[in-house]
Structure 1
Amino acid sequence: MQSRGNPPFGDKAGQARESAQALAIEVLTYIAADPASLERFMSLSGLDVGDLRRAAAEPGFFVGVLDFLSSDEALLLSFAANAGRDPATIERARQILAPRDEIMRARR
């Protein structure tokens, strides 16, 4: 008998991916709460507010959100303090969400 809340085959990779995406959504919400950070994110990503939903469905979007946060140490530390998270969780989430071929290129 399967216990409640556990996936049928113990898909830990799937759970890790879901947790990483949830963190990226939390980061995006944090960015969106600060008009200056949101404007900078939109400018650097080439998106406008109307594109966010569509873009969120694209592969790599959440990696981009985490990259944006990581590129600004003050923003990263502010998010971490407000969310009660270790800043290192951002990089771990990014690694989970990054396409495999990107990880292999980075290791070369």
Structure 2
Amino acid sequence: MAVALQALAFILADETLRGRFLDLSGITADQIRDQVQDPDFLCAVLDFLLANEKDLLAFTQETGIDATAPGLARHGLHGPDFD
């Protein structure tokens, strides 16, 4: 969950990423606070980063976490077969 929360903070701190995430997810900025503990929402956050290698690498470089951590965190939240 910690990696997903770091990913969310990274996305929200960048205006371009934030706008793209909100557009793709259909969630509003006001709804994020209510969803932050929801494993489905956190998976969506991680999926968003995992879908774009450039954004994923920027996230891992900025935070200093291993590039495999977001995928492992996503697996930990819902397992490999969750869609």
Tell me which of the two structures has the higher relative contact order, counting C-alpha pairs closer than 8 angstroms and 6 or more residues apart. Answer: 2
Distance in structure 2 (CA, Å) of the matches to 1:104 and 1:71: 16
Q: Which runs of 5+ in 1 are unaligned?
A: 1-20
Distance in structure 1 (CA, Å) of the matches to 2:60 and 2:73: 13
User: Pairwise CA RMSD of aligned residues?
Assistant: 1.6
What number of residue pairs does the alignment pair up?
83
The letter for the 1-side match of 2:9 is: T
Q: Secondary structure at the match of 2:38?
A: coil
Q: TM-score, normalised by structure 1?
A: 0.70
The percent of aligned pairs where both chains have the same amino acid is 34
Q: Say yes or no: does 1:36 pair with 2:20.
A: no
Q: Which runs of 5+ in 2 are unaligned?
A: none
Q: CA deviation at 1:57?
A: 3.4
Q: CA deviation at 1:104?
A: 4.5
Structure 2 vs 1, CA of residues 82 and 59 (structure 1 numbering), >3 Å: closer, same or farther?
closer
Q: Secondary structure at the match of 1:85?
A: coil
Q: TM-score, normalised by structure 2?
A: 0.90
